[in-house]
Chains A and B, each alone.
Chain A
Amino acid sequence: MPAPLSNSLAGVRAELAAQVALAARQQQALRLIGGGTQAALARADAGQPLDLTVLNGVIAYEPSELVITAGAGTPLARIEAVLAEQQQMLPFEPALADGRATVGGAVAAQRGGPRRWMAGATRDFILGLRLIDGLGRELGFGGQVIKNVAGFDVSRLQAGAWGSLGVITEVSFKVLPCPQAETTLQFQIGQAEALLQVNIWAGQPLPLSAVSWDQGCLRVRLSGVPAALASACRLLGGQALDAVDAQQHWHSLRERTHPFFDGAGTLWRLSVKPTAPVLELPGAVLWEWGGGQRWLRTEAPATLVRAQAVQAGGHAMLVQGGEAGTPVFHPLAPAVRALHQRIKLAVDPGQILNPGTPDFL
């Protein structure tokens, strides 16, 4: 009889922990690798690779608990498939990257798709996780229940930490039922007007689940009970998009395969206050999340882009291109950076985990 999955994953975890412990003793830097979909944003040259795709498998899934626990190397596509059998989903709609994107990567890079606007980010659905710290110790934080306030929230702290605060080995996500139905409406409307309109709608009890604007076209996705969608459509107006076209559109944003993301050149991701005015920067813009996530193709200098992002209540990440030496992540004020460095040292005293990533450290 084959050993249960959790036992075999525990064995893999222990092996990885031993590798990290050895690296810690030898002061050997490690480069954590999941599906490799975000390699361009991490410093690819630093450290010895540590392959985490070996942590592959769903460990526990109880639909009535709304919780799924899986190894960090499990492809998100597999998670999606398992959940779909029970009409449930990961509400933050992470990119699947043709089956390459993993559970641990979705946490480390805090990837969220169109539904992140209303449903919440990856971090909002982390209930707990297991990780290996920079000394090679296996640790568990949070749990498998929805409410848990024991200890500092080291689990959610991993979201967007890019593997710098531990090797994530196992994650428990809160999941939600899939909506019964979805409809997408389309409006020909300028950017400033679209930003205003979308945020007015968001302040009303409407079944909104996603929004995007580019090239004078606003698309709004509604999700929920069919009768509620019908009445919301009457209220919002616009033109209903064909179901297949709609599905393709949201998929292309989720996976960043939309034509906007094609080709070389500099690409920025700005996370700003959704109601912030239209950016005063040259180039092309596509926005999602009610205006909170703005993609920008521009050759404007990094300092200008970042200053605009700060003025708009947020920060800017250089996703692609840019001048050599431009930081990927938005730089932190010196005293705040020092605080971040002390947090890093608390978990990884030898600074062996993903050194140089994220580059705000």
Chain B
Amino acid sequence: MGHNDHSAIHAVGHADDAMLVEALRAVLPADAVLIDEQARRPYESDGLSAYRQMPRVVVLPANEAQVQAVLQVCHRLQVPLVARGHGTGLSGGAMPDQRGVLMSLAKLNRILDIDPLARTARVQPGVRNLAISEAVASHGLYYAPDPSSQIACSIGGNVAENSGGVHCLKYGLTVHNLVRVRALTIDGLVFDAGAEGPDAAGFDLLALLTGSEGLLAVVTEVTVRLLPRPRTVQALLASFDDVEKAGQAVANIIAAGIIPAGLEMMDGPATRAAEAFVHANYPVDAEALLICESDGTAEEVEDESARMRAVLEAAGATEIRYARDEAERLKFWAGRKAAFPAVGRMAPDYYCIDGTIPRRTLGAVLNWMYGRAGELGVQVVNVFHAGDGNLHPLLLFDAAKPGDFERTEILANEILAKCVEVGGTITGEHGVGVEKIDAMCVQFNSDELSIFLGVKAAFDPAGLLNPGKAVPALHRCAELGRMHVHNGQLPHPELPRF
């Protein structure tokens, strides 16, 4: 096995359209193969709509046998295949390949089995994240990972992206809350990753598949771990007159031995935008706002909230406000959850970044970011998972104004490089997709990337599954090495720009 020859991660589709459509129609019902432009249009992008591509064909299999048949067709004809769930991803991971088939798993939307005693639910990949918690609520259980898109996003997509959410400091990411997935490789092999026991025979393929962005296999069943719903939940708001103080308060909470269920931060502009949008009764004069949540038994929550309050006061909070009741707690969160659309009202366009940094560098990185944004003339708003050190800077711009996006992109690239420089990562939870594929060259060297390409080839030697995403080909990074010298100002000709 040659080690550096996996550059063929981009597959080439040989079959002509007619041959491809005929082969797909032979294995799927007529209404499950979409070829009209109008029918294909809704699938041209995921939640990151700046990156668009029309697929040759869209297929809508309704069961595992049909998924397998589609995979085998693509394998036989050597046609690229992109699988997608509900298209809420934020990195272009589900953007179609213009030479290939786009397979929506939305029709695989059944909850197959709920086992309250074992605290597991076995579901198809098209089931919505929140629908799982709703279906098991009567047993006093829930599924913990809660990405902000949880009303709409699919569990299959969560597996592909290893999605996080506001509660993952305490409850972990998707990878920590899966029991098993059933998956198919491009040649149609059905296999289990993970097991209903604490570990599985063989390598930890469950960890490998989780967050693999659809490059290794297509998931047809997901068994998730369920947790008992906490009896008591308490939230508080802490205001600060300075982001650095708020950042220090976050580090101090953790250092005090507290693992809050949620620890979110919004800066002044984000707080004011959210307040104007949903009237959560946020303190609009604060320069930084922390939302801190405790859950557990009544005793645990009482103990933790009191200790948290003491730490926040010592860190210089100007105001601390407890939610008086469940309605007010939900209001605290409503503002946070509406922060993105609220910021969206401030400018015609915004660009969301997903870097993660060590908590101790929060204040310094934020102040550096405000400084650079000022120099470049870009407005930046911060709302993020402070407890995890997972930043979500929103860079505001107007695509219609010449030069606006270019300045924004320079800042975006600098922020990602800064995250790596301080010991963090280019993506905490949104995934690499097509958006951050070049930043992968900053985080990993060519030897490391060659391992990713080797693992990819172990599952999919021809590079048919989701080509051009998540892991850059080595020559791409080599070319980019020159680009970075010029501060990322050279656009990549093959990528569409907005």
Residue numbers of A with Cβ under 8 A of B are 62-67, 87-88, 110, 112, 116-117, 120-121, 123-124, 133, 135, 137-141, 143-154, 156-157, 159-161, 165, 176-178, 196, 199-200, 202-207, 224-225, 227-228, 230-232, 270-275, 289, 292-293, 312-315, 329-333, 335-337, 339-340, 342-343, 345-347, 349, 360
The reply to whether A330 and B356 contact each other, CB–CB distance below 8 Å, is no
The reply to whether A87 and B257 contact each other, CB–CB distance below 8 Å, is yes
The reply to whether A228 and B300 contact each other, CB–CB distance below 8 Å, is yes
The reply to whether A153 and B458 contact each other, CB–CB distance below 8 Å, is no
Chain A min CB distance to B116 (Å): 6
Bound CA span A349–B453, Å: 13
The reply to whether A275 and B459 contact each other, CB–CB distance below 8 Å, is no
Bound CA span A289–B173, Å: 21
The reply to whether B455 and A154 contact each other, CB–CB distance below 8 Å, is yes
User: Does residue B154 face the partner (Cβ distance < 8 Å to A)?
Assistant: no
Bound CA span A78–B191, Å: 40
The reply to whether A123 and B118 contact each other, CB–CB distance below 8 Å, is no
Chain A min CB distance to B264 (Å): 14
Chain A residues, Cβ within 8 Å of B189: 335-336, 339
Which of these, B195, B425, B432, B444, contacts A314 with CB under 8 Å?
A: B195
Chain A residues, Cβ within 8 Å of B302: 227
The reply to whether A313 and B197 contact each other, CB–CB distance below 8 Å, is yes
Bound CA span A272–B457, Å: 31
User: Does residue B471 face the partner (Cβ distance < 8 Å to A)?
Assistant: yes
Chain A residues, Cβ within 8 Å of B425: 143, 145, 147-150
Chain B residues, Cβ within 8 Å of A112: 198
Q: A147-B173, A275-B118 are in contact. Are A159 and B254 (CB under 8 A)?
A: no
Chain A residues, Cβ within 8 Å of B448: 139-141, 151
The reply to whether B117 and A225 contact each other, CB–CB distance below 8 Å, is no
Chain A min CB distance to B63 (Å): 21
Please list 17 pairs of residues, one from A and one from B, whose beta carbons are closer than 8 Å in the complex, sorted by A's number: A65-B359, A88-B257, A116-B198, A121-B199, A144-B423, A145-B389, A147-B425, A149-B162, A149-B428, A177-B259, A204-B140, A225-B299, A230-B299, A312-B197, A313-B197, A343-B458, A346-B455
The reply to whether A207 and B458 contact each other, CB–CB distance below 8 Å, is no
Chain A min CB distance to B189 (Å): 5
User: Does residue B100 face the partner (Cβ distance < 8 Å to A)?
Assistant: no
Chain A min CB distance to B265 (Å): 15
Q: A153-B211, A227-B303 are in contact. Are A343 and B423 (CB under 8 A)?
A: no
Closest CB pairs A-B (n = 3): A346-B454, A314-B197, A177-B257
The reply to whether A147 and B164 contact each other, CB–CB distance below 8 Å, is yes
Bound CA span A144–B358, Å: 7
Q: A123-B207, A146-B388 are in contact. Are A62 and B360 (CB under 8 A)?
A: yes
User: Does residue B229 face the partner (Cβ distance < 8 Å to A)?
Assistant: yes
**In terms of DSSP, what is the predominant structure of the interface of chain B?**
loop
Chain B residues, Cβ within 8 Å of A329: 201
Count of interface residues, chain B, beta-carbon cutoff 8 Å: 93
Bound CA span A342–B259, Å: 40
The reply to whether A343 and B452 contact each other, CB–CB distance below 8 Å, is no
Chain A residues, Cβ within 8 Å of B431: 149
Which of these, A145, A149, A150, A293, contacts B423 with CB under 8 Å?
A: A145
Bound CA span A161–B257, Å: 32
The reply to whether A225 and B303 contact each other, CB–CB distance below 8 Å, is yes
The reply to whether A159 and B356 contact each other, CB–CB distance below 8 Å, is no
Chain B residues, Cβ within 8 Å of A150: 425-427, 432, 436, 440, 443-444
Chain A residues, Cβ within 8 Å of B196: 272-273, 313-314
The reply to whether A315 and B208 contact each other, CB–CB distance below 8 Å, is no
Chain B residues, Cβ within 8 Å of A177: 257-259
**Interface digits, B375-411 against A, CB 8 Å rule (1 contact, 0 not)?**
0000000000100111000000000000000000000
Bound CA span A110–B297, Å: 31
**Interface digits, B192-220 against A, CB 8 Å rule (1 contact, 0 not)?**
00011111111110011011100110000
Bound CA span A293–B360, Å: 38
The reply to whether A152 and B389 contact each other, CB–CB distance below 8 Å, is no
Which of these, B119, B216, B228, contacts A205 with CB under 8 Å?
A: B228
The reply to whether B297 and A207 contact each other, CB–CB distance below 8 Å, is yes
User: Does residue B337 face the partner (Cβ distance < 8 Å to A)?
Assistant: no
List 8 additional contacts besides A145-B388, A206-B228, A293-B197; criterion CB under 8 Å. Answer: A145-B356, A146-B169, A146-B389, A227-B299, A228-B297, A271-B198, A313-B195, A347-B451
Chain A min CB distance to B261 (Å): 12
The reply to whether A120 and B389 contact each other, CB–CB distance below 8 Å, is no
Chain B residues, Cβ within 8 Å of A205: 228-231, 296-297
User: Does residue B314 face the partner (Cβ distance < 8 Å to A)?
Assistant: no
Chain B residues, Cβ within 8 Å of A135: 3
Bound CA span A87–B436, Å: 38
The reply to whether B458 and A342 contact each other, CB–CB distance below 8 Å, is yes
User: Does residue B319 face the partner (Cβ distance < 8 Å to A)?
Assistant: no
The reply to whether B3 and A153 contact each other, CB–CB distance below 8 Å, is no
The reply to whether B424 and A143 contact each other, CB–CB distance below 8 Å, is yes
The reply to whether A315 and B185 contact each other, CB–CB distance below 8 Å, is no
